[in-house]
Chain A
């Protein structure tokens, strides 16, 4: 089916808000190329479970498309229209299963050597979209905090290697009450600048006491969900005809209730957590990967104003086969390996934060938990330097955000 044939009743299976959004822009959707439209519908179909920042982005994009002239639309999509897609894809149910379509399209583009051209078209489209969509000024500078190295008594290596050229390295930090001071600082920001899903605390282990104004996700609290997911996967892979692609499709269809998540919970947050576990590679197994990927997704999707991520020791590497079949409880942990994982993850945290609006005013702080090493990247601090100042974490946070 072609987009030009779209009818309102074909969206009867969409959740209420998603349906409302589609119907408000149906005319514009009919004008879009088939190779493009399922990836837009993939976002829209989950509208009811999106964060405010995502809803705003979808609304803005659809409004822009609706208000475009035919010539503008042609100009915007001509690179997509030069690409071919298969008849099978054309005939698939891309209205109700846009995610499956885009997965199959991706495989098709690889196999027909069109991926690079598609990527170029998408990049151009995205850059143009960003330049045309107005962004509201932030109420305060964005802040990222990474707390790494929990459980490591000593480390001889050089931390923050990738970040040093961008910020100031502190080697006389007073570690006492460090995490508490950071959480208090984050809580104060959430109170001063109340933004729905704007202030986050991602914990790679057991969450510490924190303000209820923060949106919190922890690896420990998701343990029952992770175990349910692994049981679900084990059951699926034993079914005849199951392969990697089929398994991925199955995972994409899972809902929070399939994994026994709290029925009275927050549907937006539950969906988010489910996607972290089903879409993130390694998030089910390693707490460091869970924390890194969650941070990435919090920034990409919720565009958090404040994000504190605390890494905890992950389990020692064991084979995934063993992990999948094991019903044993906590396994041996690898604090040193986890510190190295988290050091790299903090660099990715900063990179992902720099991709968001207000990047030139944003601040980032990473601290080796329990130790006197930290680094701050902020517009008011020099780059590539070392400071011997003996700050505590509260003072350092103030320095980063003032």
Chain B
């Protein structure tokens, strides 16, 4: 979220340079990703392919279909990822996942660039305007509520694994037609860890940071969160085992992926949403830590995909989407400080990408058509057979 005066921009104008427009920058980012994927990962351009749906249809197949959405709370810029100089940071995405995926090079987020509100917008298909730093539910129905109501699915069939206390209300909305009890349960692994390790967290504190944007503040949570006792009843995990495993992990996202895998093994939800957050350490201003976060996220995405292949409930029938919630400021945007924040609303901070892979996805194809991040929910609706009535996005035609 931007909390600065525009006069910070004025003092640093670029009157001497021919600044490209936001549209031109977004287009260049998109082209850069496309060219890189074509030359390095050998992907084909999607525009030249036929439009017939790659997805299998039929109610029986829909019932077995699993969908996993992985979002990054904390975008990574092209120069640290898909641009040639950034490729060393994402070997798994480039070499393992991209060739199997349909890759969308140009996804725009026109909403508020705060991680909770942006992720909430991704789940509702509407650019939400809630307070990014308050534990409040989205105003509009979430994908989890549409999914459960329209398809008559039980609560156990959809879960959210989220990074911090601020995300604990993301599973269900304020909507009268849906609301409490009709959405997804939210697991906050760090909150679980904190509760588990109460009074003995000295060597685990490095996992408990709530939010890199407001590092001094951790919102209280209330209502709807996954309780400690459910570790045993749902995840079949003793507190001692949970703690022992946590002691082997180096980051909160590793803990999130561990919990997600456990959920896949024990509950096998059909719709699983995981939000990662390590990259957002960039807000501390330490470039090396930001790059380290990108490399870890790259590894964890591949690890999750391998789990999909090895779990009988998921192998062969799972579609996985990977997308950052938005980008980060350009080095040349006068109102920002480069990679550190996403405050300016410039093209680099609003433009990102999406990767889809797995069941029904045409592999090795790059699509350049501009998408909006709110298009994800209607796309999921079209794929899975529910109607996101209040979503403002449009289903992505390549999936139709």
**Residues of A that sit less than 8 Å from B by CB:** 39-40, 42-43, 57, 99, 102-103, 106-107, 109-113, 115-116, 118-119, 122-123, 125-127, 129-131, 161, 233, 237, 242-245, 247-248, 280-283, 285-286, 288-289, 292-293, 296, 300-301, 314, 317-322, 324, 334, 336-338, 340-341, 343-345, 347-348, 351-352, 355, 359
Contact = CB atoms under 8 A, between A and B. Distances in A.
B345 A293 contact: no
Contact of A244 (B110, B127, B214): B214
Nearest to A124: B13
B215 interface: yes
Contacts of B332: 351
B284 interface: yes
A343 B284 CA distance: 16
B337 A296 contact: yes
Contact of B205 (A115, A281, A321, A344): A321
A340 B291 contact: yes
A118 B219 CA distance: 30
Given A103-B3, A289-B286, A110 B112 contact: yes
Nearest to B129: A111
Contact of A319 (B207, B286, B339): B207
B11 A286 contact: no
B208 A289 contact: no
Query: Residue among B10, B16, B111 with the most chain A CB within 10 A?
Result: B10
Contact of B13 (A102, A112, A123): A123
A126 B12 CA distance: 9
Given A122-B6, A348-B331, A337 B286 contact: yes
B124 to A, nearest CB: 15
A11 to B, nearest CB: 19
B340 interface: yes
B346 to A, nearest CB: 8
Given A161-B85, A355-B334, A283 B3 contact: no
B286 A286 contact: yes
Query: Residue among A320, A337, A340 with the most chain B CB within 10 A?
Result: A320
B342 to A, nearest CB: 12
A320 B5 contact: no
B3 A107 contact: yes
Contact of B284 (A113, A125, A281, A334): A281
Given A248-B3, A321-B205, A351 B331 contact: yes
A343 B85 CA distance: 15
B133 A320 contact: no
Given A285-B284, A351-B332, A320 B216 contact: yes
A300 B15 contact: no
24 contacts: A106-B5, A110-B1, A110-B113, A119-B335, A119-B344, A123-B9, A125-B10, A243-B219, A244-B133, A244-B214, A247-B216, A281-B284, A289-B286, A300-B11, A301-B11, A317-B289, A319-B208, A320-B216, A324-B216, A337-B288, A340-B288, A340-B291, A344-B338, A355-B14
B55 interface: no
A77 to B, nearest CB: 13
A109 B2 CA distance: 9
B341 A288 contact: no
A286 B16 CA distance: 33
A111 B216 contact: no
Interface in B168-221: 205-209, 213-219
Nearest to A38: B5
B2 A110 contact: yes
Contacts of A289: 284-286
A229 to B, nearest CB: 10
Contact of A300 (B12, B205, B281): B12
Contact of B331 (A129, A242, A336, A347): A347
Contacts of B289: 317, 337
Contact of B285 (A99, A103, A283, A352): A283
Given A281-B341, A288-B285, A300-B8, 19 more contacts: A39-B5, A39-B6, A42-B5, A109-B2, A113-B127, A122-B10, A125-B10, A126-B9, A131-B15, A237-B217, A244-B214, A247-B214, A289-B284, A293-B285, A300-B12, A318-B206, A319-B207, A338-B288, A344-B338
A281 B286 contact: no
B373 to A, nearest CB: 14
Contacts of B341: 281
A247 B112 contact: no
A321 B208 contact: yes
Given A116-B345, A321-B205, A129 B286 contact: no
Contacts of B111: 113
A347 to B, nearest CB: 7
B7 interface: yes
Which 5 A-B residue pairings sit nearest by Cβ, starting from the closest?
Answer: A289-B285, A126-B10, A122-B6, A282-B285, A340-B288
A352 B12 contact: yes
B287 A344 contact: yes
A21 to B, nearest CB: 16
A317 to B, nearest CB: 6
Interface in B147-169: none
B376 to A, nearest CB: 19
Nearest to B133: A244
A338 B289 CA distance: 10
Given A106-B2, A317-B289, A355-B14, A111 B284 contact: no
Query: Residue among A281, A322, A337 with the most chain B CB within 10 A?
Result: A281
B176 to A, nearest CB: 22
